[in-house]
Structure 1
Amino acid sequence: MTQIAVWFERKFSFGYPKELLPNLMARLRGTPARLEEALRCHTPQRLIARPEHGWSAQENAGHLLQLEPLWLTRVEDFVRGSNTLAPTDLANRATTDGGYNERPLEEILSGFRSARSKLLTRVASLEEEAWERSIVHPRLKQPMTLTDHLFFVAEHDDHHLARIWELFEGL
């Protein structure tokens, strides 16, 4: 089977039309349910088992929760018309140091569901101006629209869901 690409090595070609928004919203709305499905049937020991390199399944879920405020901040960058999207901590220290293996799984899942709902509610309320803007992504060094940003978030979700499934298949 093909290995999951390293996230920071992925290349993106943006320019997605706004007409993809309903599909992207459906993907983003479905992530909490897919995450719950991937995690709920496993024992706590399997959830927190760390591979030689990387995070446990539960830490991957915590990472998704950890990044929701960044996604929302970047949506606000489109509203404000910023020149560059808000940067992230490329070392992911907040996830690594977040203690997600010590937290109850339900806390992570419900927190993610709540944060994702907040993001989608905000996106649904945006004025047309925000959708017309193009802003440079700080790591990729390429402009993206709000539709591209939502595609990026959905791809990031899927990357970590795939990683979770891969972890369980390898245990």
Structure 2
Amino acid sequence: MSQPTAWFERKFAFPLSIEVYPSVVERLSSAADRLAEEVSSVGTSLMKKPQGRWSIKEHVGHLGDIEPLWLARVEDYVQGRQQLTPTDLQNKQTDEANHNASEITDLLERFRARRMLLLHRLETLHPRQITAMVEHPRMKLPMGIVDHLYFVAEHEDHHLAVIRAMRASPK
């Protein structure tokens, strides 16, 4: 399969075991480095928009755009909310951000800085917050924080796979 499945078509099975928490956090902590590595040798194709879809810069910008949502959802667990904070399913923020006008280094640094906020917050969680279950607003599935963080890691790996496919595409 050369192209990743569209994100909203992905299916997930939760809950995951609490034992995978350290591994998932490790994936999250390496995401900024993996993203930087993936775009390091792209060159001038950073702004190409295949079939009118997002450019590589826009994918990187989107990961920075959505990072505050992941942190807000961690707070949903901390506050004992019944449902996770919803997202804009149209990705309006990314579409309107004009990430192609930004330097790729700035987009990467923005993502890295926002990810550090999430990682620092995770360090402060109480064990009962890690085992709490909250409903995901789109999928209507109860998710523990391990499930949420796995979802986040899968989301960014999805974008990394899309970027890799874009790099490999001759167009």
Q: TM-score range by the shorter chain?
A: over 0.9
Q: Deviations over 1:123-157 (max 9, x none)?
A: 11101221121000000011000000000000001
Gaps of 5+ in 2: none
Q: Deviations over 1:73-128 (max 9, x none)?
A: 00000000101000000000101111100011111101111111110110111012
Partner of 2:80: 81
One-letter amino acid of the counterpart of residue 101, structure 2: E
One-letter amino acid of the counterpart of residue 39, structure 1: V
Q: 1:119 aligns to what SS in structure 2?
A: helix
Q: 2:13 aligns to what SS in structure 1?
A: coil
- What is the TM-score normalised by the length of structure 2? 0.96
One-letter amino acid of the counterpart of residue 9, structure 2: E
Partner of 2:21: 21
Q: 2:51 aligns to what SS in structure 1?
A: coil
One-letter amino acid of the counterpart of residue 68, structure 2: P
Partner Cα separation in structure 2 for residue 83 and residue 22 of structure 1: 25
Percent sequence identity over matched residues?
Answer: 42
Gaps of 5+ in 1: none
Partner of 1:169: 168
Partner Cα separation in structure 2 for residue 4 and residue 86 of structure 1: 26
* Residue-pair matches, total: 170
Partner of 1:32: 32
Partner Cα separation in structure 2 for residue 105 and residue 3 of structure 1: 23
Partner of 1:52: 51
Partner of 2:62: 63
Partner Cα separation in structure 2 for residue 34 and residue 85 of structure 1: 27
One-letter amino acid of the counterpart of residue 91, structure 1: Q
Work out whether 1:11 is the aligned partner of 2:6: no
Question: Cα RMSD over matched residues?
Answer: 0.9
Partner of 1:157: 156
Partner Cα separation in structure 2 for residue 9 and residue 168 of structure 1: 23
Q: 1:52 aligns to what SS in structure 2?
A: helix
Q: 2:63 aligns to what SS in structure 1?
A: helix
Partner Cα separation in structure 1 for residue 127 and residue 42 of structure 2: 43
Partner Cα separation in structure 2 for residue 128 and residue 165 of structure 1: 37
